[in-house]
Structure 1
Amino acid sequence: MIQSVSTAEHKTEYLRRLSGKPYFEAVLGTHLRLFGQHPASGWAFYLLPGTAVLELRGGSAVVCGALPGGSAGEDAREELAGFLRFLCADRLRTEQPLALAGWQLAAPLTLWELPQGSALPLPPAYPAELVRDTAPSMLPVSRLVFAENDAEADEFYSTACTALAHGVGVCHALLQDGRPVCTVGCYEQSNTESYMAAGVTDPAWRGRGLARRLIVEMANTLAAERTVRFACEQTLCGFYEQLGFVQNGKINYYTTDWNKQ
């Protein structure tokens, strides 16, 4: 049975199931701590049969842990598929392979890391006309990260500001005349992991090594206290390998189109 995380006991069990899971402990754990008591936030959290948990926001779902085996597992998968369809979720990331009726496996995300206490060599310095800001205004940053989607920019702004206000992570940006042209952030953390995300460069400044330097500087700073991790699509793996990050597994990714079923 799918159970909403609605009590202190449920919350404790949800976090216990995430414990020690790279990516999932930091990301899902942070979301639960920041938004679990605020139903209007748009985030929803559930305990699934077996050892699994589910996070939902909009059309995106994340499952960490395993459903039961045997006939109980078949029932759990059927219930989960129906639940996701009812809530119109069409994108799913999972820790373990998960076969659900109507869902298709897409290219996985690669998880990268910089172990705690490590440091990467710094790429070349920024152009002289750019200024590095380690606490930039988040409104223009959100417009850089989601330049073509105001709704997603607003959601990112709200989420990032909440995380920063609670001392969870940081944002770095390169400014030209006060306007961000490159950014990277960390908005989810556990006791042992800092998760980096939202690395974006203005199209007019791409190809000049800005992201290389900014990402490495942030990763080196965060790695002084925690292991640094992030996920990326296959097309970016060569870039991060060149910077010196090491692979630490895959995150399964599935999609569906309910209108075609």
Structure 2
Amino acid sequence: MIRSVTDPVQRREFARRIAGKPYFAAVLGTRCALFGPHPASGWRFYLLPGEAVLALRGGTATLCGRLPEGEAGAEAREELEGFLRFLAVERLVAEAPPDLPGWAADSPLLLRELPRGRTLPLPPAPPPELRLDLHPPMQPVSRLVFPQDRAEQEQFYSQACTALAHGFGVCRTLWAGERPVCTVGCYEQSGGEAYLSAGVTAPDWRGRGLASWLIVGLADDLAAARTVRFACAPALGPFYDRLGFAEAGALLQFTRK
């Protein structure tokens, strides 16, 4: 049976099931802790049969853990598929192949990491006319991250501000005058993992090494206390390999046929 996470006991069980799992512990753990008690946030969290959990927002679902084997597993998969179809979910991110009918594998996202206690060589510093801001206002940052989508801007702004206010991360931004031109942040953390995201450079400032410097600098600082991880498209894997980040697996992606 699929059970909605609605109380502190269920949230603790949700956290137990994802504990120690790269990406899921930090990302799903932070989101459940911050937004699980607030249904109006748009996030929904579920405990599935076996040891699996599910997180939903909009048309995307994230699945962590494995469903039971045998007859119980077949019933659980049938229930899950009907549940996802009823909620019009079109994209699924998973730890392992979910073996659900009607879904096709898409390109995976690659996980890269900097283990706790290690540092990477810092790339060359940005031009001196750029200013580093360790506590930037998040509205202009959200417009840099999602320049064409007002709804995504508002969602990112709300989630990032909530995470920062509760001590789950940091944001660093480079400014050219009154305009942010490069940013990266950490908005999800667990006890052992800090997850980097929203690394963006303005189009007219790309190719100058700004993101390399900002990402490595933040990763080095966070790795003093936690292993740093992030996901990237396969095409960006060689870039992060050159910076020195190690391979850490992949997030599987599926779309409805």
Q: TM-score normalised by the shorter chain: which range applies?
A: over 0.9
- After the TM superposition, which segments of 4 or more aligned residues of structure 1 sit over 4 Å from their partners? none
Helix, strand or coil at the partner of 2:241: helix
Aligned 8 A contact 2:163 2:169 in 1 = yes
Aligned to 1:127: 127
Distance 1:8 1:125 in 2: 45
Aligned to 1:118: 118
Aligned to 2:218: 218
Map 1:4-153 → 2, pairs under 5 A? 4-153=4-153
1:123-149, CA deviations, whole angstroms, 9 ceiling, x for partnerless residues? 111011111111101000000000111
Distance 1:148 1:70 in 2: 47
Distance 1:146 1:7 in 2: 33
Helix, strand or coil at the partner of 2:107: coil
5+ residue gaps, structure 1 = none
Helix, strand or coil at the partner of 1:74: helix
Q: CA deviation at 1:38?
A: 0.2
Aligned 8 A contact 2:111 2:229 in 1 = yes
Helix, strand or coil at the partner of 2:124: coil
CA RMSD for the aligned pairs?
Answer: 0.8
Aligned 8 A contact 2:81 2:100 in 1 = yes
Distance 1:244 1:54 in 2: 32
Aligned 8 A contact 2:124 2:209 in 1 = yes
Letter in 2 for 1:69: E
Distance 1:91 1:123 in 2: 36
Distance 1:83 1:233 in 2: 28
Letter in 2 for 1:122: L
Q: Give TM-score, length-normalised by structure 2.
A: 0.98
Aligned to 1:171: 171
Distance 2:78 2:153 in 1: 34
Greater mean deviation of Cα atoms: 180-189 or 5-14: 5-14
Distance 2:195 2:51 in 1: 23
Paired residues, what number?
A: 257
Q: Give TM-score, length-normalised by structure 1.
A: 0.97
Q: CA deviation at 1:154?
A: 0.6
Aligned 8 A contact 2:7 2:37 in 1 = no
Distance 1:2 1:207 in 2: 47
Distance 1:144 1:254 in 2: 28
1:136-182, CA deviations, whole angstroms, 9 ceiling, x for partnerless residues? 01000000000111100110000000000101100000000021100
1:51-97, CA deviations, whole angstroms, 9 ceiling, x for partnerless residues? 00000011111011000111211111111111111111111111111
Distance 1:11 1:177 in 2: 44
1:159-209, CA deviations, whole angstroms, 9 ceiling, x for partnerless residues? 000000101100000000021100000000001110000000000001111
Aligned to 1:256: 256
Q: CA deviation at 1:111?
A: 0.7
